[in-house]
Amino acid sequence: MILSEYQQEMLDGKYGKGKAMAMQILEAVGDSFEAQRMVPISRAHISLSAQDADVWFAEKMGGAGAVCAVPPTVNPGYCVDYFRSKGVLDEKAVAHMERTERAYRRLGAVMTYSCTPYLFGNIPHYGEVVAFSETSVTVYANSVIGARTNRESAASAMCAAITGFTPEYGMLLDENRRADILVEVQAEMRGDFDYALLGLLGKKIGKGVPVFQGLPRHISTEGLIQLGSELNVSGAYEMFHIVGVTPEAPDLKTAVGGRELKRHVVITREDLDQALEEFSPPLRSEVEFVILGCPHYNYDQLRQVARLLESGPAVVPVWIHTSSAVKDLAGRTGMEEALLEKGVELIPDTCVDEACCWKRLAGQAGVTDSPKASYYMRTFGVQMAVRDTESCIRWAQRGRVE
């Protein structure tokens, strides 16, 4: 890889040890992928997780004096104020999150604590080169917006933010963005949840860049978020195309761009049903809690839940994860209060994958509309069956499945 004079100086330590360390890591990543050069980024998003490795690395870079050239937005950790008020967090967990925040603030991060930065706070435009980590963010930016980012880890996105550069390879290059798997969807898509199920078919679709054909011309933002998010539960996808919908796929020919199609996959309603059957833990007769908002719910989704609860309040806890921005908005419109009256709490700044907040639900019967939430919460023993939002809310109103 050939570095510019400025990049080389950074590597040599002229701008401090922190920048030099970040550049070393990026150089190793670039060399591994046989990148020819480094290119500037205009945005970064870091999948802050408040997990051990995350804090260790943020402190290591901050301790070496690194400050971000491109201030990154960050993923959720957990909302100390909320969970402490519920008596859930012990002092150790409180201290850990506060430590995470200090480490990121020292680096100059923008503490958005949201996994949907592309909706608020960090919205790239078509063709923009960015360094986004958090798998559902990466795939959305590439696929739906047509920005260019690799599937960065928290560490590589942080190094890009610190230096302002990323090695040019993978999804930054035209040829790798073209589709090489044709996915013909014969199933009729009935709602957003079907896009989550479609995303669970990663094993059937196979590794590569899929182009979906046969989907409706108008797909909700939430459906597109679900598709990308769940493709990264069942596999590892940087990008997908939908003919007539996503910007690099006005038609099939353009999406494929002369690349050889290595697979042609047909998806039927049976495939979607089977995906759910195989993925979801079994439903139990009782429902003791509902978790929604993975990825973070937007305002329209709050409205949908409010509408579903018009027929009566939830009798078991319903927790919705969302961004502070959406929660503030819900506060101003009266939505938050209305939901609270129906037994729904909005939790800001928090990821479902935080054992210290949610492990207490282990053993209880939960449901969620997010396969990703179900997948990650299993790691600490919380079992949630997966169904569409309507079913989750209906059962929350009864406390059981019927």
Partner 1 sequence: MSQVFRCKRVSSGIVEGEALISQDAILFYYTDPATGVVTEDGHCLKGVSVKDKILIFPGGKGSSSVQADGMYRLDRDGSAPRALIVEELDTVLVSSAVVMEMPMVYHVEAGFYDRVKNGDWVRVDTEKLTVELVEKD
Residues that bind partner 1 (CB under 8 A): 25, 28-29, 31-33, 47-49, 51-54, 56-57, 75, 133-135, 138, 150-157, 159, 170, 207, 232, 235-236, 353, 376, 379
Taking the C-alpha atoms of residue 85 and residue 93, their distance in angstroms, rounded to an integer, is 13
CB of 331 to partner 1, least distance (A): 29
CB of 211 to partner 1, least distance (A): 20
Contact between 290 and 314 (Cβ < 8 Å): yes
Q: Which is nearer to partner 1, 27 or 336 (CB)?
A: 27
CB of 199 to partner 1, least distance (A): 13
Q: Are strands 366-368 and 289-297 parallel, antiparallel or unpaired?
A: parallel
Taking the C-alpha atoms of residue 155 and residue 54, their distance in angstroms, rounded to an integer, is 8
Contact between 352 and 321 (Cβ < 8 Å): yes
CB of 140 to partner 1, least distance (A): 13
Question: What are the start-end ranges of the H helices in 236-323?
Answer: 252-256, 269-279, 299-308
Q: Are strands 165-167 and 210-213 parallel, antiparallel or unpaired?
A: unpaired
Taking the C-alpha atoms of residue 255 and residue 209, their distance in angstroms, rounded to an integer, is 10
Block residue for tokens 């909706």: 119
What is the distance in angstroms between the CA of the first residue and the CA of the last residue of the chain? 61
Q: Which is nearer to partner 1, 106 or 207 (CB)?
A: 207
Cis peptide preceding 167, ω within 30 of 0: no
Q: Which is nearer to partner 1, 330 or 352 (CB)?
A: 352
Q: Which is nearer to partner 1, 136 or 391 (CB)?
A: 136
Q: Which is nearer to partner 1, 153 or 220 (CB)?
A: 153
CB of 159 to partner 1, least distance (A): 8
Q: Which is nearer to partner 1, 48 or 335 (CB)?
A: 48
CB of 55 to partner 1, least distance (A): 10
Q: Which amino acid type is present at position 275?
A: A
CB of 218 to partner 1, least distance (A): 29
Contact between 156 and 61 (Cβ < 8 Å): no
Q: Which is nearer to partner 1, 131 or 314 (CB)?
A: 131
Q: Coil, helix or strand for 296?
A: strand
Q: Which is nearer to partner 1, 228 or 309 (CB)?
A: 228
DSSP code string of 203-254:
HHH-SS-EEEES--S---HHHHHHHHHHHHHHS--S--EETTTSTT-SSHHH
Based on the number of CB atoms within 10 Å of its own CB, is 121 exposed (0-12), middle (13-18) or buried (19 or more)?
middle
CB of 309 to partner 1, least distance (A): 31
